[in-house]
């Protein structure tokens, strides 16, 4: 089974559908399987006090102005939906509240995503699981008891899912990656496990690919210097092309682990061992 590569656009579009389309183009051209966004109902996810607090951004001087500036609505997502269909790439989104999950249903998407921050939101988990769509569940910021509960909910609803190992720091330091947790998750929950990375660079993602992950999610950006909290932990177009290409090579290289001689080695073995046979007849 090929690793399912997700290009996480998230909010790196900076509220601009044109930028979102450019990022969709990058994902398609580099060989990603899907693009992912994030959907929030601003007044449900954030308190009034927080939204009224000051924050300088391209959209104004309050947190509300910044959050609303980054959030796509129905018009934008209809355009994104049509564009992804035109380009032949799947899209889906992680909802941060029940209203946002309801909003996403109208697009009849193939996949769902539980963000690490939302894995403890059991009502949302039950709502998502009731759709019975294949769901990627990120496990950043969690204790195993919380993962136990999420898995129990999805199994109870008979909803297909896979866990994604994730460390929710932006960017993540390499020494915090704990990639061996991928095997621990797979052994404990007897399910497929992917990797959602927030590190700078590609090496950690390569290593994850070699550990048998079934999905790989990385944030993409047009330019890491752009405005936005996720840009520094994102991969630029050339890097993402390199990432997808290398992951596909790693998949081929892993093989099945059998101990048989490769048939391509047989004529070489005969040639390089000819003197052994010759000497044996002396």
Inside any domain, residue 141: yes
Inside any domain, residue 280: no
Span 69-105, pLDDT tens digits: 999 999 999 999 999 999 999 999 999 999 999 999 9
Span 116-170, pLDDT tens digits: 999 999 999 999 999 999 999 999 999 999 999 999 999 999 999 999 999 999 8
Torsion angles phi and psi, residue 242, rounded to 5: -65, -40
Inside any domain, residue 278: no
Inside any domain, residue 8: yes
Inside any domain, residue 150: yes
- Does the pLDDT value for residue 258 go beyond 60? yes
> What's the confidence (pLDDT) of residue 83?
98
Strand partners, 193: 163
How many domains would you assign to the chain? 1
- 4-10/134-138 β-pairing: unpaired
Inside any domain, residue 138: yes
| Portion of the chain with pLDDT greater than 70, in percent | 98
Q: Look up the domain containing 35 and give its range.
A: 4-253
Spatial separation of the C-alpha atoms in residues 9 and 12, rounded to whole Å? 6
Inside any domain, residue 266: no
| CATH number, residue 77 | 3.20.20.70
Pick from 85, 125, 136: nearest CA to 107: 85
Is the distance from CB of 6 to CB of 216 less than 8 angstroms? yes
Task: Encode burial over 63-96: b for 16+ CB neighbours within 10 A, e otherwise.
Answer: bbbbbbebbbeeebbeebeebbeeeebbbbbbbb
Angle, CA of 180, 183 and 188, to the nearest 5°: 125
Eight-state DSSP code of residue 261? P
> What's the confidence (pLDDT) of residue 228?
92
Inside any domain, residue 45: yes
> What's the confidence (pLDDT) of residue 281?
56
- Residues 6 or more apart whose CB falls under 8 angstroms from that of 213 comprise 3, 165, 182, 193, 194, 195
Return the C-alpha torsion angle 165, 171, 174, 176, nearest 10. -60
> What's the confidence (pLDDT) of residue 282?
52
């Amino acid at each position: 089974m090929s690793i399912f590569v997700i290009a996480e656009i998230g909010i790196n579009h900076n509220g601009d559908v044109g930028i979102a389309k450019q990022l969709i183009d990058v994902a398609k051209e580099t060989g990603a399987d899907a693009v992912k966004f994030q959907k929030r109902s601003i007044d449900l996810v954030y308190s009034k006090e927080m939204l009224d607090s000051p924050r300088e951004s391209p959209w104004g001087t309050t947190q509300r102005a910044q959050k609303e500036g980054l959030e796509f609505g129905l018009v934008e997502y209809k355009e994104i939906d049509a564009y992804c269909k035109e380009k032949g790439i799947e899209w889906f989104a992680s909802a941060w509240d029940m209203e946002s999950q309801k909003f996403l249903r109208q697009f009849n998407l193939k996949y769902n995503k539980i963000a690490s921050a939302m894995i403890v939101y059991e009502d949302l988990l039950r709502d998502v699981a009731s759709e019975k769509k294949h769901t990627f569940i990120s496990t950043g910021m969690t204790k195993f008891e919380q993962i136990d509960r999420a898995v129990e909910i999805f199994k109870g609803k008979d909803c297909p899912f896979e866990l994604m190992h994730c460390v929710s720091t932006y960017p993540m330091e390499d020494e915090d990656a704990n990639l061996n947790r991928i095997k621990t998750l797979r052994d404990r929950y007897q399910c497929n496990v992917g990797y959602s990375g927030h590190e700078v660079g590609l090496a950690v993602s390569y290593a994850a690919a070699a550990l048998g992950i079934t999905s790989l999610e990385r944030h993409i950006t047009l330019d890491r210097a752009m405005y936005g909290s996720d840009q520094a932990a994102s991969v630029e177009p050339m890097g993402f092309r390199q990432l997808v290409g290398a992951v596909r090579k790693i998949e081929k290289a892993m093989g099945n682990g059998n101990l048989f001689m490769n048939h391509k080695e047989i004529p070489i073995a005969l040639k390089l061992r000819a003197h052994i046979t010759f000497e044996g007849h002396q």
